[in-house]
Amino acid sequence: MSSHHRWLLSQVPEWEREGLIDATSAAALRGRYTDQNTADGSRIGFAQIAMGSLGALLIGNGLIAVIGYNWDEFTRPTRLLFAFLPLLTSQIFSWWVLRRGDGASAWLRETAGLLQSLTTVGCLAIVSQIYNLGGNWPDLLLGWMLLILPLAWVLRAKSVAMLYLIGTAIWPFGQFNAGVAWHASPLIYPLLLAGLLPMWPGWPPKTAPSTWMRWMITPCATVGFCCAASFATYFTSESGYVHVNAEVAAWLCALVVACITLFPLNANGISEALGRKPQVILGALLLLGFGLAATFEDFSDEFDSLIGAFRLPWAWGLLMITAVFSALAVIQKRWAVLAIAMIAMLPLFGGVPGEWQHWLVTLYLAALGIAFIVLEFTGHRGSPRLGATLISLLTIARMADSDFPLLTKGIIFIAVGIAFLVFNLLIIRHGRRSSPVTP
Amino acid sequence: MKPLIASLIFLVAALAQWAGPLWRIYTYEQTLAHGMLIKLKCSAPDPYDPLRGRYLAIQPEQQQIEVPENLRLQEGVSFYAGFDTGDDGLTTLSGVSFTPPEKGESIRLRTRNYVHGSYIWIDWPFERFYLNEKLAPEADLWLAENIRSAQGVIAEVRVLKGKAVLADLSLAGKSFREILKERVK
């Protein structure tokens, strides 16, 4: 819980006593600021989870090391017993924690979930050791992830959910082969991610993921979806070889990021601090990076070859999702987010004559940068520093591919640097003038 | 989630955590007990797996196989191959098909990344022979002495219904573990 929220909650009884707010408003305030910080309906501190997870990790790793020793002097059944005993012990522990229901503290649930997850993979590992099985890690990883997923649901163990998110985001890379059947390929990633949904039951979910869970989900989902979208671009060339279409894959990844950035939010979600919206921060960074790359002629020249993308159902699916999410963003007046997400649509300038494409992208990004600054100074919610950074980067990019002498480039870089610092000072002063002193 | 539903889901998950490895054990035990024995000449360096300890990386000498012209294989695709056994008792792979042959045993393999001309590279279903840490240094020496000998190190593999399990390594008909234990004494 942030210090601001703690302070606000501590003031509520006093305000109620003084008659500044009534009982309903006090309850609403308590509900809102308590829920925001214990978003999953339980008061789980990060430290509790970290301690429980660390303990389970140490025990689990110790067990795996003991298992990994390969007890040559024992028979096969005895060695198999070593694999199953820790699993059974951890299952009994988890069952005991589960039976305690809400009485079980967060760290106990985390410890039980993680320990059982590790003994499960330990068991799979020793079986493959005893039978000298090969190192096909994607199969082992997927099997492990599916076996531990229900623990995240029933024990509400966030460490297990985190493990699952990371594991399922890594798995598609191991299956990135042309000959892999669709049901064993990265294309099933959306289903794997949907497997976590029971952690937030009901529709719309009664509770929202906590901030740090959002920071886990966003990068993992971005990686997983991008991998799936790239896999969908495999094609057979005239020579008979099967390749990924790199240009189309890059565009589909940009569309994936646009969808994640535009992910619909309710009114509470929109009013939350930016730090609680990693999809917007991460999405904006990735899309601005994509946009900046597209301001270079070499990159934007490839837009012409994107026509092949329209043969792919994935391209149409992503375009439709982007269109729906964009319409919702228009209704909710999320103009800044929408403007950033539209960077993914810039490759549609493919119809424009070659030499103009990168200039059109440059103009769009420059307009975006200026808009972020102007909004702030006209009483709207802008992002002046991001705008200034964008304009500075565009200037540097254009200098990089210009034919100006080195001296001219150097002077312009210095001028941009000074302008950036002065602008930063102006923003600090503007911020002090426009916001009252808060506790 | 209601306690009864949570308990049921947990029990199913716990059973699945047992069923997965137990099913693998059953199929590998069946292969070891009833599978056909094939012998493959191989080379074997010595790495380490953080999860499963020391092992010898087994690499059968045969890394490619000829495919019929009408069979197009992409990377990562599963296929079946039959066996030819030479006068020396060593086995080589022959005859590639998408389905197991009607007569005789076959082994299920995968194509590796690189496919060229009428030959494909094989991804063998076994590549490791796990060792006790005490035996591993002696295994290094043994391999260095014998890997390039005329007889070579032989991988003894049991095959049943396409599934292959590496049973042992041998030199001149003698088990690798027995040789190592004698050397350690």
**Cβ A134–B49 below 8 Å, yes or no?**
no
Dihedral class, residue A240 (left if φ above 0, else alpha if ψ from -120 to 50, else beta): left
A177 by DSSP, 3-state: which?
coil
Task: Determine the pLDDT at residue A10.
Answer: 75
On chain B, the residues whose CB falls within 8 A of the CB of A141 are none
Return the number of CB contacts < 8 Å for A and B.
125
Least Cα separation, residue A66 to chain B (angstroms): 9
Residue A105 has phi, psi (to 5 degrees) of: -75, 165
> CA-nearest residue of chain B to A153?
B6
Q: To 10 degrees, the CA torsion angle through A431, A434, A436, A438?
A: -40
CA B119/CA A437 separation, integer angstroms: 75
B45 contacts chain A (CB < 8 A) = no
Q: To 10 degrees, the CA torsion angle through A348, A352, A354, A360?
A: -70
CA A256/CA A319 separation, integer angstroms: 9
A127 contacts chain B (CB < 8 A) = yes
A83 contacts chain B (CB < 8 A) = yes
pLDDT tens digits for A19-75?
A: 888 877 877 777 666 544 444 444 456 666 677 777 777 777 777 677 666 666 677
> CA-nearest residue of chain B to A91?
B14
CA A104/CA A97 separation, integer angstroms: 6
Question: pLDDT higher for B46 or A215?
Answer: A215
Write the secondary structure of A316-383 as one string of H (helix), E (strand) and C (coil).
HHHHHHHHHHHHHHHHCCCHHHHHHHHHHHHHHHHHCCHHHHHHHHHHHHHHHHHHHHHHHHCCCCCC
Complex confidence, ipTM: 0.78
**Cβ B166–A132 below 8 Å, yes or no?**
yes
Task: Determine the pLDDT at residue A287.
Answer: 95
> Is residue B10 scored above 90 in pLDDT?
yes
On chain B, the residues whose CB falls within 8 A of the CB of A124 are 20-21
Task: Determine the pLDDT at residue A40.
Answer: 46
Q: Which two tokens stand for residue B81?
A: 């191959």
A131 contacts chain B (CB < 8 A) = yes
Least Cα separation, residue A129 to chain B (angstroms): 6
On chain A, the residues whose CB falls within 8 A of the CB of B76 are 177-180
Task: Determine the pLDDT at residue B179.
Answer: 83
Interface of A with B in 195-214 (CB under 8 A): 198, 201
> CA-nearest residue of chain A to B11?
A95
CA B107/CA B126 separation, integer angstroms: 11
Among B9, B10, B26, the residue to mutate for chain A (most A Cβ within 10 A): B10
| DSSP letter (8 states) at residue B162 | B
pLDDT band at B61 (very low <50, low <70, confident <90, very high): confident
In DSSP terms, A358 is beta-bridged to: none
On chain B, the residues whose CB falls within 8 A of the CB of A242 are 74-75
B172 contacts chain A (CB < 8 A) = no
Question: pLDDT higher for A105 or B76?
Answer: A105
On chain A, the residues whose CB falls within 8 A of the CB of B52 are 67-68, 70, 125-126, 128-129
Task: Determine the pLDDT at residue A4.
Answer: 65
pLDDT tens digits for B107-147?
A: 999 887 666 667 888 888 888 888 777 777 777 777 777 76
**Cβ A125–B52 below 8 Å, yes or no?**
yes
pLDDT band at B157 (very low <50, low <70, confident <90, very high): very high
Interface of B with A in 86-105 (CB under 8 A): none
On chain A, the residues whose CB falls within 8 A of the CB of B16 are 147
Of A131, A147, A198, the CB nearest to B17: A147
> Is residue B180 scored above 60 in pLDDT?
yes
B73 contacts chain A (CB < 8 A) = yes
Number of Cβ within 10 Å of residue A433's Cβ equals 7
**Cβ A123–B73 below 8 Å, yes or no?**
no
**Cβ B28–A126 below 8 Å, yes or no?**
no
Task: Determine the pLDDT at residue A439.
Answer: 39
Residue A129 has phi, psi (to 5 degrees) of: -70, -45
**Cβ A150–B131 below 8 Å, yes or no?**
no
Give the residues of chain A that fall short of pLDDT 50. 35-43, 437-439
A147 contacts chain B (CB < 8 A) = yes
**Cβ B6–A201 below 8 Å, yes or no?**
no
Among B23, B52, B107, the residue to mutate for chain A (most A Cβ within 10 A): B52
Instruction: Kindly write down the DSSP assignment for every residue of A67-130, as one continuous string.
Output: HHT--TTS-HHHHHHHHHHHHHHHHHHHHHHHHTGGGS-HHHHHHHHHHHHHHHHHHHHHHHHH
On chain A, the residues whose CB falls within 8 A of the CB of B18 are 84, 87
On chain A, the residues whose CB falls within 8 A of the CB of B133 are 69-70
Question: pLDDT higher for A282 or B179?
Answer: A282
Least Cα separation, residue A111 to chain B (angstroms): 16
On chain B, the residues whose CB falls within 8 A of the CB of A74 are none
Dihedral class, residue A251 (left if φ above 0, else alpha if ψ from -120 to 50, else beta): alpha
> CA-nearest residue of chain A to B52?
A68
Interface of A with B in 256-275 (CB under 8 A): none
Least Cα separation, residue B4 to chain A (angstroms): 10
On chain B, the residues whose CB falls within 8 A of the CB of A123 are 17, 21
CA B19/CA A87 separation, integer angstroms: 12
